[in-house]
Copies of this chain bind each other. A is one copy, B any other.
Amino acid sequence: MLRGLTQAGIGMNGDERFIAAAAEHGFQAVDLDALSLVERLGLEPARELLRKHGIVIGTIGLPVEWRTTEEAFLQGLEKLAKSAAAAAALGCTSCCTYILPSTDMKPAHFMALATKRLRMCAQILGAYGIRLGLEFVGPHHLRTHWKYPFIWTMEETLDWIDAIGENNVGLLLDAYHWYTNELTTADIERLRPEQIVHVHINDAPDVPVEEAKDNGRIYPGEGVIDLAGFLRALHKIGYKGAVAQEILTAEPPSESPDALLQRSRTGFNQVFSAAGL
């Protein structure tokens, strides 16, 4: 597995600095927007930047708004092939999006629209050899934040992936959502590795699970999630992709980027070593 970072929880701007800093602190993957990197630097310099630092792109975010109007969706769709081509040119094979667990729309209708939209995104991504990862979102407060329940469990998400029906769609498995869904290592062990497109790692504070807030995440190893078990199960089934930290917080972090990177490295060392990895 590759140790990865997102910018959430690091407080650093600028892809080039972020890539360099991630490498310096022993990380092997970062999640960022491949197209903007290529457009800013050019393809070959962007490749060279990654090569020089020994960094791969873990995933790009899905640059298409699939949750609101058809107009917004179609507008985003115009750029998707270009984003996919840029990611592929940089060696990235994954693109991710998250699923809000409740909605103000009639949920069945929204599910029908979203199925069609994400299928189309998956098809375009697939043409460039890129897989689409869907992240189920577990925190309890979001399940009732909007009017109707949508979906938030791993099983529901796997069923949705089946309904989308493309062979390049899988899970983004986030330790925080695994925890807030009260899933076990056995639930991970039931997966085939190709069902997992990307992994997020975070920790949760010592509050009752139903009170863990989506933006109340803490650094790996500093909380109560069994991250060693989480990583062991992933390793056991043969997952070899990136495991990227994504610390969503209510307030921006007050420490310096360097301190946060150091803290992240310490956390990774701790939980990977507890997992025997």
Contact = CB atoms under 8 A, between A and B. Distances in A.
A73 B81 CA distance: 12
Contact of A112 (B127, B149, B160, B194): B160
B81 A127 contact: no
Interface string A112-124: 1101100110011
Number of copies: 4
Contact of A81 (B81, B107, B110, B163): B81
A168 to B, nearest CB: 8
22 contacts: A73-B127, A74-B81, A77-B124, A77-B127, A78-B81, A78-B85, A80-B81, A81-B81, A107-B107, A107-B111, A108-B108, A109-B151, A111-B112, A112-B159, A112-B160, A112-B163, A115-B163, A116-B159, A120-B124, A123-B123, A148-B149, A238-B238
Interface of A: 73-74, 77-82, 85, 103, 106-113, 115-116, 119-120, 123-124, 127-128, 148-151, 156, 159-160, 162-163, 165-167, 192, 194, 238
